[in-house]
Amino acid sequence: MPQVVLVTGATGFLGSHLCRALIERGHTVEAFRRRSSDVSRLGALAGQVRWHWAPDELEAPFSGPAVPDALIHCAALYGRHGESLGQMLEANTLLPVRLYDLAAQSGVPLFLNTDTVLDPALNLYALSKHHAVQWLMRAGGPTRVLNLKVQHFYGPGDDPAKFITGLIAQCLANVPEIRLTEGRQQRDFIYVSDVVSAMLALLEREAPRSSGAGVSPAIGASVPGLDRRGQDAHATAPGERRGQDARPTAPGERRGQDARATAPGDAAQSRHGGGFANYEIGSGNPVPVRELVELIHRLTGSRSRLLFGALPHRPGEPMLTRADTSALRELGWRPRVQLPEGLARTIEERKLL
């Protein structure tokens, strides 16, 4: 049944792919955008989105007679352009917490948060995203949080500053030399449409079967279930370590919280009762970075010389990341685009630029 879905980061890479898929499936999309935002990734579909100006109209979607069935938070600041500490904190920690409060106070049943698998010690982006999740885990309100720990996603229209798109551009330009690490680190790469299909599987499993018909109380009003005594039964006790997968972790591997934090059937039982659960999104099949680079080099027909070992690894960089997708597979989800096909599509789009 069609849902009303509020999306943040709708003009970005992941958010635009998500909005397109939602509209194509008959859902109504509301989204935030800044006045300076470029909506070209959405093309003609931008006219089918109900836009709200950010940050001026942050409360607008929550203050009408009906509220969204779900909020999907894709907005993020990566810190690639010299952003300040305050900007990183505001975008990646304070904004999702503020949005959660607005959703909980107005009766939005479901909040999907896009998270990272990066170690919080690696950079400010990972640290600020980690802090947001820590707050969301302790929210205890009536809005259910699904935290989506997404592996390394890629595809057409991605930011040229990211590794895969930047490497494709260099290979197509036949730059004389490309300096790289040894490439021994293994990464779980997933095509963007597979990330979106995982989000849709969770949305359509857990969102209420209505069309934004929930009644919205006044923002800031007292809402049953908002007191912190209603903490999720899955909350971690002081000093407790949880969510680790029964599968042993390989040396140097970094993984997210266990996707099986939500037991089968638990999601449906708590559809209107808040709570928190982690889901990991990836292919589940990591490949060495060197293998990825050589594949891109071959698919582009590049004459560039690959200098493996010319750069050191980043301090604290994990040697292996891999998603445990068992919980998503229980919902019938499978990644459909294999790495060679996904790279070929991305390369073809880049050739047209």
CA distance 310 to 226: 53
**Which of 156, 149, 208 lies closest to 20, judged by CA?**
156
Tell me which residue has tokens 């996707």. Answer: 259
Residues above pLDDT 90, as percent of the chain: 76
pLDDT (mean) for 55-66: 93
Tokens of 42: 């959405």
pLDDT interval class at 140 (50, 70, 90): confident
**Which of 117, 194, 186, 102 lies closest to 151, judged by CA?**
117
What is the pTM for the complete model shown? 0.83
For the chain, the structural domain boundaries read 4-154+189-282+323-336
For the cut 70, the answer to whether the pLDDT of residue 241 exceeds it is no
Question: Alpha carbon 3 to chain centroid distance?
Answer: 20
For the cut 50, the answer to whether the pLDDT of residue 279 exceeds it is yes
Contact indicator for 289, 184 with CB cutoff of 8 Å: yes
The predicted structure's pLDDT at residue 8: 98
Q: How distant, in Å, are the alpha carbons of 29, 72, 245 from that of 18? A: 10, 9, 29
Contact indicator for 20, 42 with CB cutoff of 8 Å: yes
Mean pLDDT, the chain, whole residue set: 86
Type of residue found at 124: L
Residue 115: partners with Cβ closer than 8 Å, 6 or more residues away: 129, 133, 147, 148, 149, 150, 256
Residue 210: partners with Cβ closer than 8 Å, 6 or more residues away: 1, 3, 69
CATH number of 4-154+189-282+323-336: 3.40.50.720
The predicted structure's pLDDT at residue 211: 44
**Residue 236 CB coordination number (10 Å):** 14
The predicted structure's pLDDT at residue 243: 36
